[in-house]
Structure 1
């Protein structure tokens, strides 16, 4: 019997297959594309290797791509037909149970099975990583924090994957609102491994949640060679870079990064980031019609069937941005029919019914200028929008849509409350103060509006943060239109100024 690099027993694997498996896990934790090749190599060496088949299934099931899920089902069921499950050890049987649940579309049960597994095997890094991603896909902030936190004491700082666990834990801490602790843990994760892109991601989420956008730009600029290329996560980190630039009022920088890095994306993750960025510009009246057209084209195949409601929202954003209201209507009608069908245990069906459909309807209503409908649809679910996945930063697109429609519909009492919530959470966010100015203008208090607008301009220039000694001089973005060239350009921290 072989063992993985954490000392956990694995049946059915020769020594060479085990080495490929260990390398695949390392690539997985670093979000490197090489994970697929190493996983395939492990199975080529030992086709009946249970943990190799489990790893291959997770890699496909966690992409939120319907085609990948179908491929996972075909491959994993073929493995099960060949396998003698009675000969698997308890840990392997627990993984098989988790994969079965995911194949049935039951993300919550899959996540629960993995949580039970890590009680007995806290050093099973694949169970922790897969469970962490499931917590993200289902928007479970508590488990994003506690799944990793509950295992950490079984690890030691000299363990090869300890730093990556800290990166996961930092993200869970951030999503659960522990910003100081998240920053501390995330910085330590990246100190232990500078190429821990999930740790970098956790730190920039923490800065985003506190409105510390210049700290975020400074941090990403300083580490650009480590995160900006070479992984299947770099586009998402560039998206965070753009959120900071939006707060600084640098729309030209944002569109340059979009064109260099995000345009031409094909995976749901990449399309989602592009849509989420362009929608923020759309809410502020910025005409991005040409960029929306290409994005709408790319979404059509990806959302041809119901699979993940969070993706549906971003597809509808793209259709609305491109002026393709008919395409948005057809997607919504298809999801309405899907949600009416009995699908016991299918997590996405519940996500679609409870959150996905009302959000998609609201986005379409926004495109048509029916802002009263947007408010009526989004206000009742604003505190449970997490239940269809994503992060606080990603779901802020929904909250901003609600606020913008409240302002445009003249629902000033509601808008006042929403702006007050935002300012008191992130007082150094220029966006929040600009909305305060819009609200004051709508109420006829033009002096207060001018004061708020001036304060927003001041913040965009100085980014008053909890630590007044922290300042950033961000670099210029890549400016080429070619996506690969943009990634190459991003490796060089070319000069620029605030």
Structure 2
């Protein structure tokens, strides 16, 4: 008897329990919900020769930056699937293996080809999508559009009530500027499965991009208490709420959220989120004119010492440079920039020159050399999208340029940038800054 996954694709397992646990585990994984690892382990215990369960477990290890465990698990999956896997399963495992081994460009190419043949293989289809997906970290300037194109190409293969596809299709549209459509799709996905951190996260992004900051804060305040603190997105979703507090001029409230949910000692998030959320929140707090309590920069920098020490991951590089600049470690920034330049020369840093430029600009901003910061950032402002992440995350770099222009006396340029931002998305903070410029 053939067993199937949750989207009707056949599975090479003889165990009903293994298949059921796999379906449940994949849904937990795709919704960033606690318990996925344990449920997938139950699938493996029920059928130790179930290659896709081993592969999914490897994916979870990779999400947690547990690379040695991820590589061991995917090696097991590869060995099993070579002996008795189907063509689809062999391709599935191969794509995940490429991603786990850091061969991102090839993983993206193979994932897209796989999706053309098996579009309902959602674990593989998920790899190019999202703020931290293969498209976002490809160095492409048009990765927002590429995600939309991918979702629209395969939309006909998904049911109208597929909560996972609705969530990622909506998020892709909202990030690409079609905010109302993206919000409607994401809201539908959220309503279908509220126990879905990716949906709550995507909906908060859509609200943010639409200027509905109060709604985003209410959404998070209502939803977050039901999401266990061990969930990988718990701290990051709280980060969105902290940004909302800063937006409405409540630094004390923002710091309280940071202390309870975001700082390294309080979160079980993915390292890339912990490093970027701490660095960008503290940078915003100071840049917007508030005091950063003693020790917070140092605590964030101490956590980061265990991750991303090697240059080449553009999104992490930028935030590591922020931490180093804020804590006075100029040598660390210069060393990272030197390594980035070598990678660019060899073609091994797809995001290109914008990455060292942002790092140098962060150092200039920390030194209060605002004219130099603006001079570095202006020529590459249109290329910031290449570092990946979301629009909300990258906005920090635009803020850096805006504040550098304001503080170096470039009022006309700062005003033009503010006008463009307010046209794109209403912001009470930008309105306040516009008032300062006009005064």
Q: Give TM-score, length-normalised by structure 2.
A: 0.88
Map of 2:87 onto structure 1 = 90
CA gap of 1:268–1:89, structure 2 versus 1, over 3 A, is same
8 Å Cα contact 2:34-2:228 kept in structure 1: no
8 Å Cα contact 2:71-2:101 kept in structure 1: no
Map of 1:8 onto structure 2 = 9
CA deviations over 1:247-306 (Å, ceiling 9, x no partner)? 111111000000111121462312321221111112123231421111011111112223
8 Å Cα contact 1:228-1:235 kept in structure 2: no
Map of 1:480 onto structure 2 = none
CA deviations over 1:109-163 (Å, ceiling 9, x no partner)? 32232222222222212122223233344472123323333333223246xxx11
Q: Identify unmatched segments of 5+ residues in structure 2.
A: none
CA gap of 1:18–1:355, structure 2 versus 1, over 3 A, is farther
Map of 1:464 onto structure 2 = none
Map of 1:292 onto structure 2 = 297
Are 2:141 and 1:141 aligned?
no
8 Å Cα contact 2:51-2:81 kept in structure 1: no
8 Å Cα contact 1:406-1:414 kept in structure 2: yes
Map of 2:424 onto structure 1 = 425
Shift of 1:399: 0.5
Map of 1:367 onto structure 2 = 366
Are 2:281 and 1:277 aligned?
yes
Q: Secondary structure at the match of 1:232?
A: coil
Map of 2:106 onto structure 1 = 109
Are 2:123 and 1:99 aligned?
no
Structure showing greater relative contact order (alpha-carbon pairs closer than 8 Å, 6 or more residues apart): 1
Shift of 1:78: 5.0
Q: Give TM-score, length-normalised by structure 1.
A: 0.79
Following the alignment from structure 1 to structure 2, what is the Cα–Cα distance between the partners of residues 150 and 157?
Answer: 15
Shift of 1:25: 0.3
CA gap of 1:228–1:325, structure 2 versus 1, over 3 A, is farther
CA deviations over 1:178-207 (Å, ceiling 9, x no partner)? 111112112211221222222222221122
Map of 2:412 onto structure 1 = 413
Following the alignment from structure 2 to structure 1, what is the Cα–Cα distance between the partners of residues 134 and 63?
Answer: 7
* 1:268 aligns with one of 257, 265, 272: 272
Mean Cα deviation higher: 285-294 or 86-95: 86-95
8 Å Cα contact 2:344-2:353 kept in structure 1: no
Q: Identify unmatched segments of 5+ residues in structure 1.
A: 441-448, 450-498
Following the alignment from structure 2 to structure 1, what is the Cα–Cα distance between the partners of residues 391 and 228?
Answer: 22
Shift of 1:220: 2.6
8 Å Cα contact 1:144-1:175 kept in structure 2: no
Map of 1:42 onto structure 2 = 43
Following the alignment from structure 1 to structure 2, what is the Cα–Cα distance between the partners of residues 228 and 204?
Answer: 18
Following the alignment from structure 2 to structure 1, what is the Cα–Cα distance between the partners of residues 342 and 43?
Answer: 42
Following the alignment from structure 2 to structure 1, what is the Cα–Cα distance between the partners of residues 275 and 429?
Answer: 24
Are 2:309 and 1:304 aligned?
yes
Map of 2:334 onto structure 1 = 329
8 Å Cα contact 1:167-1:196 kept in structure 2: no
Mean Cα deviation higher: 308-317 or 384-393: 308-317
Following the alignment from structure 1 to structure 2, what is the Cα–Cα distance between the partners of residues 6 and 277?
Answer: 39
Counterpart mapping for 1:226-265 below 5 A: 226-227=226-227, 229=229, 231-263=231-263, 264=265, 265=267
Following the alignment from structure 2 to structure 1, what is the Cα–Cα distance between the partners of residues 194 and 72?
Answer: 37
8 Å Cα contact 2:55-2:96 kept in structure 1: yes
8 Å Cα contact 1:378-1:402 kept in structure 2: yes
8 Å Cα contact 1:228-1:238 kept in structure 2: no
Shift of 1:222: 3.5
